[in-house]
Chain A
Amino acid sequence: MIDALAAEWLKLRTLRSTSVVLGVVAVVVGLMALLAWYAAGLWDGLPPDQRDHLAVSSLPELTGMLGSLCLAVLGVLAVSGEYATGMIRSTFTVMPSRGRVLAAKAAVLSVVAFCAGFAAILATYALGRLIIGDRAIRGQSTEPLARQLPLFLAMSLAIVMFALLGLGLAAVTRSAVAAIAVLVAVWYVVPLVAFNLPAPWGDRLGSVLPGALAGELAGTGNPGSVGGSLLSPGAALVVMVAWVAVPYGVAAVLLTRRDA
């Protein structure tokens, strides 16, 4: 297993998609800093009695949401890229245990997704605080980092979940297009549908969607977003695991049964 992990790590590191995706994550952090700078300028230009009308979404949460999609796409490309080129046959020739290959890919991707996600969220938080300073813009938390850390860690876990969801979907469909289509549906389209469902179904569906789980896991809920807040942290963790385990399990079975 160590050999497979090391090999998959080398592969992911030398994959062009990896640097592109991580570059996009860095750009997202930069955009958040721009947004903070723009909001701070707006705030400064408003008369004090109107400043309460200015609200900006939580920047670390925006980074977490966009980062989820980026790392999910990396999860897809880490597998679909091998199918598209036929390299999957080299991989399975070199490492005939396909279950082990999938596990190694998932493990390496998880570490990359967690580190990249956590770093991006922390960087967004730090830049936001630095730029916004003590301006009390609505939507921007002024709590110290220690109080925010559980949420940031939960968001990083959600990013790992998205990445593994992408990996599983790509291994099942063997197609980047199909896997990314499903991902975008789960990330954006289904939450929109949930938002427009009549009560209590909107909240119920919105609470089990991947995008809502980080808030529920951290116990902060999802105020001001389409995500529901019905699950306890423990239940949120279980649902998070299920979003990963189901496609991964199907992928593991299909991978060993199908011809490469």
Chain B
Amino acid sequence: MIEVRELTKRFGRTVAVDGLTFHVKPGRVTGFLGPNGAGKSTTMRVILGLDHPAGGEALVGGRLYSRIRHPMREVGALLDAGAVQGGRTPLGHLSWIARSNRVGRERVVSVIEQVGLAGVARKRIAGFSLGMRQRLGIAAALLGDPGVLLFDEPVNGLDPDGVRWIRELMRGLAAEGRTVLLSSHLMSEMELTADHLVIIGRGRLLADTAMRDLTGVRDVFVRSPRAADLAAALSAAGGTVAPAGSGNGEGADLSVRGLGPVEIGDLAARHAIPVHEITPRAASLEETYLRLTEAVTDHVSGRADR
């Protein structure tokens, strides 16, 4: 359980996090979304005691992170996969982390195997690809078998196999009852991985909601050669009907809200109106996300980023 309460963090005059409050509950993957500069990484750094907040607090398991005696056994984190010294080997890197938190040596070997780095355990990290470094960072996060896990952009640099591996790993960790907070820019990936979403923009909370509430059925697409008749019938039955795109000559396409595909089909049959297609359409996370963050995006394409 991670509790962020009224968290505020400033860098000079810039307010990076502005009175942010949300909880991350165990047993599900919570996706952490927001445009660049929204304050995701800053929030994660405050949770881990790396940055000092100007106001509010972030608690892990009811405590300040910095008060935990062996934090790796309770909280695992991957913030920046590049933040390792290239001269070491994965074995060397994980060994000092394990030793500092009294985690056994055998655990080092087992996480190296779990993340698929067994073949390069004694190779210098300097020669690793970003994907391999991500795996090493994940190994470090898993080292203490913690109940709370934070991952900042863990799929960066991973190949499709790796992306899928991360997805299954995250879902597996949550299924074991752990608290998982995961930030990513890849909406389609997030849609597949997260159960719950926390969306922030300019340091403020935009949404804290279940994934299905953001991506539920948006409307039903209906194609009929007698679209006008069907629209009248559907409206009479309580549906909201709007034209959907251009017709293709044999009628017109409709976008129907307030009625399900079964009701629409039955209604059409009762009125003997031919129907060529009925498709329920879900809103993609990407659409919803872009709509939510439209007003707060600092770095719009076309302008210089930072």
Interchain CB contact under 8 A, B100 and A85: no
Chain A interface, DSSP helix/strand/loop, else mixed:
helix
Closest B residue, CB atoms, query A7: B100
Within 8 Å by CB of A94, from B67, B87, B97, lies B97
| A8–B95 alpha-carbon span in the complex (Å) | 11
Interchain CB contact under 8 A, A96 and B66: yes
Question: Given the interface contacts A7-B100, A96-B68, does A86 sit within 8 Å of B88 by beta carbon?
Answer: no
Question: Given the interface contacts A3-B99, A10-B95, does A93 sit within 8 Å of B48 by beta carbon?
Answer: yes
Interchain CB contact under 8 A, B52 and A259: yes
| A86–B86 alpha-carbon span in the complex (Å) | 11
Interchain CB contact under 8 A, A94 and B101: yes
Verify if B51 is at the interface (C-beta below 8 Å from A). yes
Question: Given the interface contacts A14-B89, A16-B87, A85-B84, does A95 sit within 8 Å of B50 by beta carbon?
Answer: no
| A141–B182 alpha-carbon span in the complex (Å) | 67
Total A-B Cβ pairs within 8 A: 80
Chain B interface, DSSP helix/strand/loop, else mixed:
loop
Verify if B165 is at the interface (C-beta below 8 Å from A). no
Residues of B within 8 Å of A85, CB to CB, are: 82-86
- Interface residue stretch chosen among B72-80, B208-216, B280-288: B72-80
Verify if B61 is at the interface (C-beta below 8 Å from A). no
Verify if B231 is at the interface (C-beta below 8 Å from A). no
| A38–B153 alpha-carbon span in the complex (Å) | 61
Interchain CB contact under 8 A, A90 and B83: yes
A-side residues, CB < 8 A to B, are 3-4, 6-8, 10-11, 14-17, 81-82, 85-87, 89-90, 92-97, 257, 259-260
B-side residues, CB < 8 A to A, are 45, 48-52, 65-68, 71-72, 77, 79-80, 82-89, 92-93, 95-97, 99-102, 140
Extra contacts besides A8-B96, A10-B99 (15): CB < 8 Å: A7-B100, A10-B96, A14-B93, A14-B95, A15-B85, A85-B83, A85-B85, A85-B86, A86-B80, A89-B50, A89-B80, A96-B65, A96-B71, A97-B66, A260-B50
